[in-house]
Amino acid sequence: MSNSEIDQEIDPLTRLAIKHGTDKWGPHFYTPLYHELFYRLRDRPIHLLEIGVGGFDLKTVGGASLAMWAEYFPSGQVTGLDIVEKRLALGPRVKLFRGSQVDPAFLKQVCDERGPFDIIIDDGSHVPKHVVTSFHILFPYLVDGGLYLIEDMQTTFWPQWGGSSMSGAIRRNWRE
**Which three-class secondary structure string do you get for 80-108?**
EEECCCCCCCCCCCEEEEECCCCCHHHHH
Residue 14, amino acid: T
Per-residue DSSP letter, 20? H
- Interatomic CA distance for residues 20 and 63, integer angstroms: 9
How many helices (H) and strands (E) are present in the chain, helices listed first?
7, 5
Report yes or no: 48 and 121 within 8 Å, Cβ to Cβ.
yes
Phi, psi torsion values for 152, nearest 5 degrees: 60, 45
CA atoms within 13 A on the CB side of 78: 25
Active-site residue, 126 included: yes
Identified catalytic residue from 20, 35, 126, 130 = 126
- Residues with catalytic function: 126
